[in-house]
A and B are shown apart, each in its own frame.
Chain A
Amino acid sequence: MVNKLVTDTAAMLEEKTGSRNAVVHSTAYPEQATGSPFVKNPKMSMRNVDVFYGEKQAIFNVNVDIGQNEVIAMIGPSGCGKSTFLRSINRMNDTVDSCRVTGDLTLDGEDIYSAKMDPVALRARVGMVFQKPNPFPKSIYDNVSYGPRLHGLASRRAELDDIVEMSLHRAGLWEEVKDRLDQPGTGLSGGQQQRLCIARAIAISPEVILMDEPCSALDPIATAKIEELIAELSENYTIAIVTHSMQQAARVSHRTAYFHLGHLVEVNDTEKVFTAPEHELTEAYITGRFG
């Protein structure tokens, strides 16, 4: 079924475009993602990843690395599997009964899906920020201190205070909330809530932060603040961001990965993807020739 869709899309494009020039090679899915999916010294490395929901396959043989301190953006039309893929790399999909992930996924060379890997510990190392800000119904302070307490990262109150302050600083929220840390996190504006969620993710010192459309519920100013934050965070963390906004991917990421119907089509330096993408499907998507 999916394969038929693939050939149909390819045939449709082929028919429209005829023979092509040097920028773009083909409309068929490449065996390996076009461009440069692999990096030296990857932080995370994914090989031959397939993801199934029951019988239905959602991700097809994805091979890609995420580099140390890199911001990688994942773009693609709805249903292309970019969020599914993101959720596979910190085992968020474990919570979905019908979901099955196969392939080799490693963090610093450690197998993410091995029996030895504790998913809770993994998610402390690979944090996640969601589309909709979801602060706990607790005070701002408790939102940020919850994780460090759970993981026993602070032995004394003063240490916890330090972690909370540093996390809120890094999330660019400290100045706005320092006088009302005891007030509920849910009372903040949408953009502030999202930065609170980022502070919460940072508080447990993750190595990688996954962001699933972190700005889609925010206004342009709040979005700009989050994007600025992403640039600052990339000095200390590795970031993978799924976004529907191609301009956002162009603004914040170092490399961009384009997914199409569960296939990873192209991974390239962001400037290359947005000026001269190599694959025809990438070109068609980012220029708005199909959605």
Chain B
Amino acid sequence: MDKLNLDQHISRQFNEDLEEIKTSMLEMGGLVEMQVGDAIRALEDADSGLAEKVIEVESRIDEMEMDIDETCTTLIARRQPAASDLRLVTAVSKAIRDLERIGDEAQKIAKMAIHLAEEGVAPRGYTEVRHIGNCVRKMLNDSLDAFSRFDAEAAIATMKDDRQVDMDYKSALREMITYMMEDPRSISRSMNILWALRSLERIGDHAKNICEHVVYLVQGRDIRHRKLDGDS
């Protein structure tokens, strides 16, 4: 349900402009989600063809970011949005930055996939990649979902998932270090997995940021750099 009444301005053109930036942002989000999924799959399957495709599509995401950014600037200049409209424009303009960064991380994972395809697969770490990969993909999906439904509660619930991702990342890191100590010859290949894990963890952080933008958009509260309820 559209709780922000985007379609109820006296100016129909304004309705359309706001709807457009939201739709384009979600479209960009869809593409970024696909990129993350493809990058993880390319890494798991050592599929350099799929990895190349991820790298290629990345430039499309950059273009979308620039387009939406420009639309936001034009909208501010022409409409001087206030209150929830202003929050929508700032939330979209921040969210696309996070999406673009997620796209960058997906590209890094794809590059690691290409290295692994060339150097031979790493001995360990794929289970962790799959696990953390699934977690952050779900976070990203949930955060975009919360954005499209303007659902602050769902966004807050999703933010809490990031703590689990951070913990899983730390324990995966420890395990990878153990493997590398056991078998120093695998260090270079293991490092590729490690970088990919690091990128996945960053994707979780960006998905969390998107959730923060949703809370700001819906409730007008800035909850960045604050502890959530239930945090110790």
Chain A interface residues toward B at CB < 8 A: 16-23, 246-247, 250, 273-277, 282-284, 286-291
Contacts and interface: CB of A to CB of B under 8 A. Distances in A.
26 contacts: A16-B8, A17-B5, A21-B3, A21-B218, A22-B218, A22-B219, A22-B220, A23-B84, A23-B219, A246-B82, A274-B86, A275-B86, A275-B220, A276-B83, A276-B220, A277-B83, A282-B83, A284-B8, A287-B9, A287-B84, A288-B9, A288-B10, A288-B14, A289-B5, A289-B10, A291-B10
Given A22-B218, A288-B10, A289-B10, A274 B82 contact: yes
A81 B150 CA distance: 35
Interface in B1-15: 1, 3, 5, 8-11, 14
B152 interface: yes
Nearest to B218: A21
For chain B, the bracket of interface size reads 20 to 34
Interface of B: 1, 3, 5, 8-11, 14, 80-87, 150, 152, 218-221
Contacts of B8: 16, 284, 289
Contacts of B86: 274-275
- Of A20, A23, A277, A290, most buried by chain B (CB within 10 Å of CB) is A23
A280 to B, nearest CB: 10
Contacts, number: 62
A21 B152 CA distance: 9
A164 B172 CA distance: 78
Contacts of A17: 3, 5
Contacts of A283: 83-84
Nearest to A20: B3
Given A23-B218, A23-B220, A246-B82, A276 B9 contact: no
A135 to B, nearest CB: 32
Contacts of B10: 288-291
A71 to B, nearest CB: 18
Contacts of A277: 83
A250 B82 contact: yes
Contacts of A21: 3, 150, 152, 218-219
